[in-house]
Amino acid sequence: MKQLYLVANWKSNKSIEEGKIWLNTLSEKLSGITVPTHIHIILCAPFIDLPSLQEIVKMKTLPIELGAQDVSPYPSGAYTGEVNAQMLVDVVTWVLIGHSERRKHFHETDAELTQETQEVQKAGLNSIYCVEGPQQLIPKEATIILYEPTSAIGAGKTEDPSLSNDICREISEKNNAKLVLYGGSVTQDSVTEILTKSNIHGVAIGGASLDPIQFFQIINIVSSL
Ligand code: PGA
């Protein structure tokens, strides 16, 4: 069975309280379906939201793994404002690295992103390494790869799934056959076509993940593919 990853990326949205309401709403909906074990639901939330989300996931034994949206390239020490990989170990199993918004707004470089990926691996966590295309450098320590064409992010329209499929294949071939996901304007209307492409092993969902009902609908559709 093809392993499929559904990654919700809240970006810089949701207070602690809003996050809890979101997860409780999703939990109610999920209680009505069975999520097959080949589907991995990963919720990437702001650092501040993660501990209270973790409590709910544990208490309700939800089929959800948590992820951070960023991590320090350094270990613990004198790096004011940073959250390092070791600190995340108790709360998440995944870390999103090198999202195009971090490269653009925070000027994260390939060297820093490689360090972040290595820190994540050292801590025993998994990384979702984001790239904008096959030409971008991907550290060998990355667990899975997320291909996100910047023109499709928040654009309201996905890239042509056949093109994404070709690009995901190329990225995978160049990187030790790692699994590659697609991200950029994925919704319940586009998810089936994207995930039935052979080289696409999951999707990242930004805008459409902010509403728990929309995110549930995506999970429900993918569960019955
Ligand atoms: P979007 O964001 O679904 O809102 O296009 C995807 C992402 O940036 O991960």
Rg of the chain's alpha carbons, rounded to an integer?
16
On whether the pTM is more than 0.95, the answer is yes
70, 94, 164, 186: which to mutate for ligand 1, most atoms within 8 A of CB?
186
pLDDT at 1 over 90: no
**Hey, what are 46's tokens?**
């702001």
Long-range contacts of 168-177 (CB under 8 A, 24+ apart): 168/197, 168/199, 168/200, 168/201, 169/198, 169/199, 170/134, 171/131, 171/133, 171/134, 171/138, 171/145, 171/147, 172/145, 172/199, 174/134, 174/138, 175/138, 175/140, 175/142, 175/145, 176/140
Q: Tell me the C-alpha distance between 123 and 23, whole Å.
A: 27
Q: Based on the number of CB atoms within 10 Å of its own CB, is 109 exposed (0-12), middle (13-18) or buried (19 or more)?
A: exposed
158, 185, 188, 194: which to mutate for ligand 1, most atoms within 8 A of CB?
185
Q: Which of 132, 224, 141 is nearest to 175 (CA)?
A: 141
Active site residues: 99, 148
Q: What is the pLDDT of residue 176?
A: 93
Taking only the tens place, the pLDDT of each residue in 122-178 is 999 999 999 999 999 999 999 999 999 999 999 999 999 999 999 999 999 999 999
Cα(125) to ligand 1 centroid in Å equals 23
Taking only the tens place, the pLDDT of each residue in 176-206 is 999 999 999 999 999 999 999 999 999 999 9
Does the CB atom of residue 117 touch ligand 1 within 6 A?
no
